[in-house]
A and B are shown apart, each in its own frame.
Chain A
Amino acid sequence: MLGAAITGLLLLIGVFFGGRAQRQHLADMDRRAEALSDIIVTNLKTIPESGQPPILVTGSVVIAFDYFRQFVAKFVMFFGGRITMYETMLDRARREALLRLLEAARAAGAREVHNVRYEFSRVGSAAEQGPGGGAELLAYGTAIL
């Protein structure tokens, strides 16, 4: 009974603070994306000639697989279908990784980033499918000046 109450409380904390953090993060990413919108980003392998050597740029983020999401996902997985919570979570992480890549490109003075690739991997305790842990999203590409 006490265990269930603690779980319930943790889930409520997760819903409240997690939701608020997500809204703030999305707004923050919109602002940063706006400031970096002049950089051309492609995943094309052929890059234009610029006369200067290209620079390899990366951006990465490790996100938590929080208990609330895992709890809800377990219910959804019983019936099958879309797990929209994970969709939003991964989308946020991927956008954050790309923004960090663009910030690195901007810091290096680049105007274009080509051949952008994403890498995903589980880290921490979740590597063995236990609860908790996180996932890393890495974006990398070739920046040209």
Chain B
Amino acid sequence: MILSNTETIPGYTITHHIGLVQGNTVRAKHVGRDLMAGLKNIVGGELKGYTELLEDARQEATQRMIAEAEAKGANAIVNVRFSTSAITSGASELYVYGTGVVLG
């Protein structure tokens, strides 16, 4: 599966548009991580636990998008976009979407 956030891929021709494919996941923070984050809020800097959590979640969302594209017969996803939104104070939604295409 070829993934790109550009609309076209030079050297390849899009022979068929499959349509919008997407993947999402909602992750909640973990108490231990949150405790560390509380301490970090005194000195500032990176919240590594959160970085890893969101990174994992984003990979999972991407895998779901790829699975949907494969099921629909696409061999590439173009114009991929990521979006994150905090839905409640302890949880975030990671969303990834793009256009599934068949490259010739």
Contact = CB atoms under 8 A, between A and B. Distances in A.
The secondary structure that dominates the A interface is mixed
* Residue from the set B47, B54, B81 with the largest chain A CB neighbour count within 10 Å: B47
29 contacts: A13-B43, A14-B43, A17-B43, A48-B10, A53-B2, A60-B54, A60-B55, A60-B58, A61-B51, A62-B47, A62-B48, A62-B51, A63-B44, A63-B47, A64-B41, A64-B45, A65-B41, A69-B44, A119-B82, A119-B84, A121-B83, A123-B29, A125-B90, A131-B41, A134-B47, A136-B50, A136-B51, A141-B5, A142-B6
Interface of A: 10, 13-14, 17-18, 21-22, 25, 45-51, 53-56, 58, 60-69, 89, 96, 114-115, 117, 119, 121-125, 127-128, 130-134, 136, 138, 140-142
B14 interface: no
Interface in B72-104: 76, 80-86, 88-90, 92
Contact of A64 (B29, B40, B76, B82): B40
A136 B44 contact: no
A19 B76 CA distance: 46
A121 B10 CA distance: 32
Interface residues of B, number: 41
Interface of B: 2-12, 29, 34, 37-38, 40-48, 50-51, 54-55, 58, 76, 80-86, 88-90, 92
Nearest to A122: B86
A121 B2 contact: no
B37 to A, nearest CB: 6
* Residue from the set A49, A63, A65, A119 with the largest chain B CB neighbour count within 10 Å: A63
Given A60-B55, A142-B4, A49 B11 contact: yes
Contacts of A138: 58, 82, 84
